[in-house]
Amino acid sequence: MKCVSWNVNGIRAVLKKDFIEILYALDADIFCIQETKAQEDQIEIDCELYPYQYKYSAQRKGYSGTMILCKEKPLSIKYGIHNEVHDTEGRVIALEFESFYVITVYTPNSGDGLKRLDYRMEWDQAFSQYLDSFDKPILLCGDLNVANEEIDIKNPKTNRRNAGFTDEERDSFKKNILIHLKDSYRTLYPDKVEYSWWSYRFKAREKNAGWRIDYWLVSDELMDKVKDSKILTDIYGSDHCPVELDIEI
């Protein structure tokens, strides 16, 4: 099974580029999308590969939002993390299949000046409790807005107190998320240097001055079924590139 996750930074914008062609080219069984930045009635993806499409938009227009496209109909669909404080921004969709769940998440960014860091810490704890509630193994993907280790960011020293690379966020990621799941890419490739996000400023992508903040995380019992975990750096259209999980399940 092939699964792909991509923060498109605006679904309406990427649909004006080569998004449909990319969907056909990748031909994933499950395609997860973050940061749709659109209301549900503003999103129309005409792709015959995916008869099943699930959207979850933020209450605030033009902000956040997630989506999952899949070839097979899931057994159930869950929107949000069942927490009124955190379920206004369309950040989480979970699909249940026979032997596993696929969850896509767009984790809150701590923001300029770390003005949302406290909220981010609260989110991580609530999301950890949410992950604890599942009764089947999990494939979790998305923009988790944290570079876990120094190898996951081009300039670790100068970014130490920037959103996505604070000690608080990295510690929280380990304690609240990696306690449940394994980082498939880093498990397979402990020393490989690749990034999934680049700032639009300073020709960052051209210089490959990036961050690895997009993940496929899997339950421990599924890690031996993972055949590959890839960062698709040759695909453009967003400030993120897609990440792929190939798994026998």
Q: Of these residues, 124, 143, 152, 214, which one is catalytic?
A: 143
Give the model confidence (pLDDT) of 113-131 as tens digits.
Answer: 999 999 999 999 999 999 9
Is 106 an active-site residue? yes
Catalytic residue flag (residue 143)? yes
**Nearest-CA neighbor of 50 among 85, 74, 66, 83?**
74
What per-residue confidence (pLDDT) applies to 184?
98
> What's the mean pLDDT when you consider all of the chain?
97
Write the single-letter amino acid at 215: Y
pLDDT tens-digit profile of 161-192? 999 999 999 999 999 999 999 999 999 999 99
pLDDT at residue 112, as a whole number: 94
Amino acid 81: pLDDT: 98
Look at residue 199 in the predicted model and tell me its pLDDT.
95
Question: Percentage of residues in the chain with pLDDT exceeding 90?
Answer: 99
State mean pLDDT over 233-239. 98
Whether the CB-CB separation of 83 and 205 falls below 8 Å is answered with: no
As a whole number of angstroms, the distance between CA 249 and CA 128 comes to 24
DSSP state of 109: P
Q: What is the DSSP letter of 196?
A: S
Distance between CA atoms of residues 8 and 162, nearest Å: 22
pLDDT tens figures, 48-95: 999 999 999 999 999 999 999 999 999 999 999 999 999 999 999 999
Which of 106, 130, 195, 215 does the annotation list as catalytic?
A: 106
> What does DSSP assign to residue 48?
T
With tokens 């020293």, the residue in question is: 157
Over range 33-53, report the average pLDDT.
Answer: 97
